[in-house]
C-alpha cells in the first residue's frame, strides 16, 4: 500500500524530536533523510501516493477539509522544499557547532510539513493553522532569549492580524475557501483596511524593513539554524501568504505601492547593514533582508512568478548565506573566496532568471547582489566568528555549492548565450573581492551602537510601548484610586458612618429615646388614622 509521504515525514520528525541524544540519533538522521528521499521520489511521480484529505472536526459546528494534494503549481515548490529540507538536515548532521541535532532535525521536518500544508491550503483554516503552528516550531528552534522574545511578539501580532482578516471574511461571506476570494472584490467592505492589515502581517512574517529586528537578534544562533530560519521558515511563509492571498490584496489600490516601497526600503536597509556589519551572522541576516526585498520587488513588478525560478533564487541565496556564515578567520587562503564566487555566480544567475523580462529590475538586482556578495567576500576575514568547520562539513558545503550552481546552470534556458557575460562579471567580482574598495569607508561604522544597536526596537519602545505604559499608570491612578477609592467609595463609607452615628445618638439615652420613639409611633398611627378614617 502506498503510504502518503507526509505521514512518513511526520513520523520521522516525531521520532527524531523525542529521540534520546546518543543512542538512536544516527538512526533518526537516516530515517529523516530516507523520508525526504521518499517524498522527493513521490513528488517526482516515481510512484503513486494517495492524496491526503482529512475531514477535520475543528469545531463542534464546523468541519474543515484538510488537503495536502500538491497540484501542478505547487508540486515544484513542494519538491524544492523537500530538497532544501534534506540539504539542511545534512548541514545539521555534519556540523560540529550544533549540539541538539536530532531535536533540530525534527523541527526542520515539522517546519517543512507545515510549509507543505500551507502551500496546499484551499481554505483559510488550514492556512491559518499551518502558519500558527509553524510559528511555534520556529520559536522552539530559537535558542537565543532576545530572538525568541522579538520573534514571538512580532509573529503573534502577525498571526492575530491574519486571524482578524479571516474573521472578517468569514463574517461577511460565511465561506472559507481561498479560491472564492477573488469573487468578493466587487462587494467587499473595509477593503483598504483588510489589505493593509494583510500586508502588515506579510511584512512582519518576511522580516521587511522596520519589522526585521527579530531576525537581527538571531545572530547568536548557529549558522545552520540561522540560515534555515531566514530562508525556509517564517519569511517563506510570508511569501506563501502573499501568493495565496494575492486576490485579497488586489481589492485595494494601495497594496502594490506599499509593497514596492517596503521592498525598496528593505533592500536599501539590508544593503547598508551588509556593508557596515562586521559580524558574519548579522551580515547573513541583512543579506536575507536583501533577498526578500528583491523577491517582493519581483512580485510587485512582474506579472507572474515562475515557481522553478523562485526555487533557484531561494536555493542560491540560501547557499550563499550558508557559505558566508560558515567562513571565518579560520579558513585561510583562496578557497573561501572561490567558494563564495561560485555561490555568487549562481546567486546572480538565479536572480537574472527570476526577474524574467523586466530588464531594469534584473540589472538593478544584479548590481545589488554583485556589490554585496563581492563586499562580503572581501571582508570575511574581519568576521568576529571563529568558525572551525570540520572536514566533512566543508566537504558537504562544497558539494552543495557546486551542485546548486550546476543545477542553476542546467535549468536556465540559453545559458550558453550568457557565458561571456558570466566570465566578465566573475572577473570584476574577483577584483572587487580582493581589493575591498569600501574597507576604509566602513571603518568608521565599527562602533558598538551601530554593530549591536537596534534602532527599530528603540523606536517601538519609545513611540508605542512607553505611551501605553504611561497611559496604564495614569488610568490606574485616576480611575481606580482617585475616582473610585477616594471619591465614590469614601463617600459611601462616610454616609454609612454618619447613619450609624445618628443611630447611636438616638439610642444612647434609654428614657429619652423611648419617649421619642413612642411619640414617633403615636404620630404614625395618628397620621394613618387621619388618612384612613377621617379623610
Q: Which of residues 184-203 bind other proteins (CB under 8 A)?
A: 189-190, 193
Contact 218, 229 (CB under 8 A): yes
Interface region with other proteins, contact rule CB under 8 A, candidates 169-177, 248-256, 396-404, 427-435? 169-177
| Residue 275: partners with Cβ closer than 8 Å, 6 or more residues away | 372, 375, 438, 442, 445
Secondary structure (3-state) at 281: helix
Stretch 516-535 residues interacting with other proteins (CB under 8 A): 517-518, 520-521, 524-525, 528-529, 531-533
What separation in angstroms does the CA of 504 have from each of 499, 501, 510, 514, 515? 9, 5, 11, 13, 16
Residue 476 CB, shortest distance to other proteins, in Å, is: 5
Residue 351 CB, shortest distance to other proteins, in Å, is: 35
As a whole number of angstroms, the distance between CA 51 and CA 55 comes to 13
Residue 156 lies near other proteins (rule: CB under 8 A): yes
As a whole number of angstroms, the distance between CA 122 and CA 111 comes to 19
Nearer to other proteins, 261 or 474 (CB): 474
Of these, 447, 469, 491, 494, which contacts other proteins (CB under 8 A)? 469
Q: What is the 3-state secondary structure (H, E, C) of 25-68?
A: HHHHHHHHHHHHHHHHHHHCCCCCCCCEEEEEEEECCEEEEEEE
Residue 154 CB, shortest distance to other proteins, in Å, is: 11
As a whole number of angstroms, the distance between CA 249 and CA 246 comes to 5
Nearer to other proteins, 24 or 163 (CB): 163
Nearer to other proteins, 189 or 421 (CB): 189
Residue 234 CB, shortest distance to other proteins, in Å, is: 13
Of these, 76, 168, 256, 426, which contacts other proteins (CB under 8 A)? 168
Residue 189 CB, shortest distance to other proteins, in Å, is: 8
Q: How many residues does the chain have?
A: 535
Stretch 56-95 residues interacting with other proteins (CB under 8 A): 56-62
Stretch 110-129 residues interacting with other proteins (CB under 8 A): 125, 128-129
Of these, 261, 388, 424, 489, which contacts other proteins (CB under 8 A)? 489
Q: In the numeric block, which cell numbers belong to residue 397?
A: 558545503
**What is the DSSP annotation of 208-262?**
-TTS-HHHHTTTTS-HHHHHHHHHHSHHHHHHHHHHHTHHHHTTSTTHHHHHHHH
Nearer to other proteins, 81 or 117 (CB): 117
Residue 464 lies near other proteins (rule: CB under 8 A): no
Rg (CA), the chain: 32
123: nearest Cα among 196, 177, 199, 174? 177
User: Would you give the binding string for other proteins spanning residues 20-39, x where CB under 8 A is met?
Assistant: --------------------
As a whole number of angstroms, the distance between CA 302 and CA 361 comes to 9
Residue 517 CB, shortest distance to other proteins, in Å, is: 4
Residue 484 lies near other proteins (rule: CB under 8 A): yes
Residue 461 CB, shortest distance to other proteins, in Å, is: 12
Residue 275 CB, shortest distance to other proteins, in Å, is: 28
Amino acid at each position: 500500500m502506498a503510504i502518503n509521504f507526509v505521514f512518513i515525514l511526520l513520523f520521522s520528525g516525531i521520532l527524531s524530536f523525542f529521540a534520546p541524544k546518543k543512542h538512536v540519533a544516527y538512526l533518526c538522521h537516516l530515517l529523516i533523510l530516507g523520508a525526504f528521499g521518499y517524498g522527493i521520489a513521490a513528488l517526482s511521480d516515481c510512484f503513486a501516493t494517495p492524496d491526503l484529505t482529512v475531514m477535520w472536526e475543528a469545531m463542534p459546528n464546523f468541519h474543515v477539509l484538510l488537503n495536502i494534494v500538491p497540484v501542478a503549481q505547487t508540486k515544484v515548490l513542494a519538491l524544492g522544499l523537500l530538497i532544501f529540507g534534506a540539504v539542511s538536515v545534512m548541514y545539521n548532521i555534519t556540523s560540529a557547532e550544533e549540539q541538539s541535532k536530532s531535536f533540530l532535525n525534527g523541527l526542520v521536518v515539522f517546519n517543512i510539513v507545515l510549509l507543505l500544508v500551507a502551500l496546499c491550503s484551499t481554505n483559510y483554516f488550514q492556512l491559518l493553522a499551518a502558519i500558527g503552528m509553524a510559528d511555534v516550531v520556529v520559536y522552539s528552534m530559537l535558542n537565543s532569549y532576545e530572538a525568541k522574545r522579538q520573534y514571538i511578539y512580532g509573529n503573534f501580532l502577525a498571526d492575530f492580524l491574519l486571524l482578524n482578516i479571516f474573521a472578517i471574511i468569514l463574517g461577511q461571506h460565511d465561506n472559507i475557501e481561498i479560491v472564492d476570494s477573488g469573487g468578493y472584490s466587487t462587494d467587499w467592505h473595509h477593503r483598504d483596511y483588510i489589505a493593509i492589515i494583510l500586508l502588515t502581517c506579510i511584512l512582519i512574517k518576511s522580516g521587511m524593513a522596520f519589522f526585521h529586528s527579530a531576525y537581527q537578534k538571531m545572530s547568536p544562533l548557529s549558522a545552520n539554524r540561522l540560515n534555515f530560519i531566514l530562508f525556509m521558515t517564517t519569511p517563506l511563509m510570508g511569501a506563501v501568504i502573499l501568493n495565496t492571498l494575492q486576490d485579497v490584496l488586489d481589492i485595494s489600490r494601495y497594496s502594490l505601492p506599499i509593497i514596492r516601497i517596503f521592498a525598496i526600503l528593505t533592500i536599501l536597509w539590508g544593503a547598508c547593514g551588509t556593508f557596515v556589519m562586521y559580524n558574519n551572522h548579522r551580515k547573513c541576516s541583512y543579506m536575507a533582508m536583501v533577498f526578500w526585498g528583491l523577491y517582493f520587488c519581483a512580485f510587485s513588478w512582474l506579472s507572474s512568478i515562475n515557481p522553478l525560478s523562485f526555487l533557484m533564487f531561494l536555493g542560491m541565496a540560501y547557499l550563499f548565506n550558508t557559505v558566508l556564515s560558515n567562513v571565518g578567520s579560520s579558513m585561510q587562503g583562496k578557497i573561501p573566496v572561490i567558494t563564495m564566487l561560485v555561490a555568487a555566480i549562481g546567486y546572480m544567475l538565479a536572480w537574472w532568471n527570476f526577474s524574467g523580462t523586466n530588464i531594469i529590475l534584473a540589472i538593478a538586482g544584479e548590481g545589488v547582489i554583485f556589490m554585496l556578495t563581492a563586499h562580503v567576500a572581501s571582508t570575511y576575514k574581519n568576521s568576529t566568528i571563529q568558525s572551525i568547520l570540520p572536514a566533512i562539513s566543508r566537504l558537504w558545503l562544497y558539494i552543495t555549492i557546486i551542485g546548486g550552481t550546476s543545477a542553476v546552470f542546467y535549468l536556465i534556458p540559453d545559458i550558453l548565450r550568457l557565458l561571456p557575460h558570466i566570465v566578465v562579471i566573475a572577473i570584476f567580482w574577483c577584483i572587487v573581492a580582493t581589493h575591498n574598495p569600501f574597507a576604509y569607508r566602513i571603518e568608521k561604522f565599527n562602533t558598538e551602537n551601530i554593530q549591536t544597536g537596534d534602532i527599530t526596537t528603540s523606536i517601538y519602545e519609545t513611540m508605542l510601548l512607553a505611551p501605553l505604559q504611561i497611559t496604564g499608570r495614569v488610568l490606574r491612578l485616576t480611575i481606580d484610586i482617585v475616582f473610585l477609592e477616594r471619591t465614590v467609595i469614601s463617600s459611601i463609607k462616610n454616609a454609612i458612618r454618619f447613619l450609624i452615628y445618628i443611630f447611636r445618638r438616638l439610642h444612647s439615652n434609654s428614657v429619652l429615646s423611648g419617649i421619642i420613639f413612642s411619640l414617633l409611633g403615636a404620630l404614625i398611627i395618628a397620621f394613618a388614622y387621619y388618612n384612613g378614617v377621617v379623610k
